[in-house]
A and B are shown apart, each in its own frame.
Chain A
Amino acid sequence: SAVISQKPSRDICQRGTSLTIQCQVDSQVTMMFWYRQQPGQSLTLIATANQGSEATYESGFVIDKFPISRPNLTFSTLTVSNMSPEDSSIYLCSVSMGQHYEQYFGPGTRLTVT
């Protein structure tokens, strides 16, 4: 299994600013995933981050809005840029591990944009 921590756990931000979310995993993993959960909705994959290469973004998400860094095999950051109230969500970091690709999630970062 994997233990995943995220910082900050929550934040309230002004419109037009940016927030960087950090994700730390207790073991080395090839791929890290970033999800968004909007109020009352299920999880949507934003992007997949591989160490040493550019992140792969899902349809509807772009690098300029959600830049991702992956400097090593245990750490990643997601930045939410030029925020608007529509970006208010829970952002979750995730990894898959083991031969059966079991998915594990961090505790999430609750973002409110005013």
Chain B
Amino acid sequence: KQEVTQIPAALSVPEGENLVLNCSFTDSAIYNLQWFRQDPGKGLTSLLLIQSSQREQTSGRLNASLDKSSGRSTLYIAASQPGDSATYLCAVRRMNYGGSQGNLIFGKGTKLSVKP
């Protein structure tokens, strides 16, 4: 059974700091991995999607890496800003028997607070 863990559960940093959020998963047979942002009481915004064959993806100040063999992904945020304050969720899409895509399995998220 796939389990997704995110560490730390909460993180508070001063503005301008570079930071890393961690995600680990127990089953390396994944189709892809997606990072989301969730603002309080809101839906999810897709940040980055990494295919199982890729090592990293970049979008602006965000960089996500994937090490499938070790079951790990990191989300790197450069030069953090107060507007980055949100909960960041990692989700792994399982690979079904036969190679088709399965459902997303979510971690519990890391709540980030960036202080001005």
Contact = CB atoms under 8 A, between A and B. Distances in A.
Given A102-B34, A103-B104, A110 B49 contact: no
B107 A104 contact: no
B91 interface: yes
Contacts of B108: 41-42
Nearest to A108: B43
A106 B36 CA distance: 13
Given A43-B106, A45-B104, A106 B43 contact: yes
Interface residues of B, number: 22
A105 interface: yes
B91 A101 contact: no
Interface of A: 1, 4, 6, 33, 41-45, 48, 90, 92, 100-108, 110
Contacts of A41: 108
Tell me if B's interface is mostly helix, strand, loop or mixed: strand
Contacts of B101: 101
A108 B42 contact: yes
Given A43-B106, A101-B32, A90 B41 contact: yes
B106 A42 contact: yes
